[in-house]
């Protein structure tokens, strides 16, 4: 039995779940609306304030999908009720970030500025304090989308191992290398 798949998902107040005939799960809450297509053989039941996910039999395919869909639906419920936040820090002299609507303007030491288009479902803020690194804050109800956007922003200038310059997640521990040692 799947240890994750058998656990019921509790619905907080203000969150509604609908399952269509084509097995598309839509979760609606105060932070937004998210939907996910589920395999037609996996059975999803909404009873009172709980969601249960059941598989038809113990084939390997259904065993692997059981826990996956339960986790995806749980992430959707948490996203529309609490939301997800990702913070990234720009480490480097002269590195800047500025949010203009859904466009993030980044100055990362290249010869040109980078204009990054953020999807409508994700809200972006850029904060710059004196004598501190700029911080980019992404918020969304969709955990998968916010992770993809954060990974694309990080890929523009990943942190290098010698000085740690680049875009890193707040609180991330980087593996540093020793530089050249001076010859005696």
CB-count burial class (<10 Å; 0-12, 13-18, 19+) for 180: exposed
Q: For the chain, which residues score pLDDT lower than 50? A: none
To 5 degrees, how large is the angle CA 168–CA 97–CA 119?
Answer: 85
| CATH topology assigned to domain 84-169 | Outer Surface Protein A; domain 3 (3.90.930)
CB 88 within 8 A of CB 168: yes
- pLDDT tens profile 39-91: 999 999 999 899 999 999 999 999 999 999 999 999 999 999 999 999 999 99
Q: In what order do the strands lie in the sheet with 50-54?
A: 9-10, 50-54, 43-47
Q: Hey, do 9-81 and 84-169 end up sharing a CATH topology, with the first three levels equal?
A: yes
* pLDDT of 48: 87
* pLDDT of 181: 77
For 9-81, CATH number out of 3.20.20.140, 3.90.930.12, 3.30.70.20, 3.40.50.150 equals: 3.90.930.12
């Amino acid at each position: 039995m799947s240890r994750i798949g058998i656990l019921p998902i509790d619905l907080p107040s203000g969150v509604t779940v609908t399952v269509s005939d084509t097995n598309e799960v839509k979760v609606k809450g105060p932070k937004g609306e998210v939907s996910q297509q589920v395999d037609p053989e996996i059975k999803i039941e909404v009873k009172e304030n709980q969601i249960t996910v059941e598989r038809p039999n113990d084939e390997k395919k259904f065993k692997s999908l059981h826990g996956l869909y339960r986790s995806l639906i749980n992430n959707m419920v948490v996203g529309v009720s609490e939301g997800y936040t990702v913070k990234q820090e720009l480490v480097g002299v002269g590195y800047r970030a500025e949010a203009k609507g859904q466009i993030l303007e980044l100055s990362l030491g290249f010869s040109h500025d980078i204009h990054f288009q953020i999807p409508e479902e994700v809200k972006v803020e850029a904060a710059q304090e004196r004598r501190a690194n700029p911080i980019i804050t992404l918020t969304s109800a969709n955990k998968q989308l916010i992770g993809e956007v954060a990974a694309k922003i990080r890929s523009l200038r990943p942190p290098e191992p010698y000085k740690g310059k680049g875009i890193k997640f707040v609180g991330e521990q980087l593996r540093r290398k020793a530089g050249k040692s001076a010859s005696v």
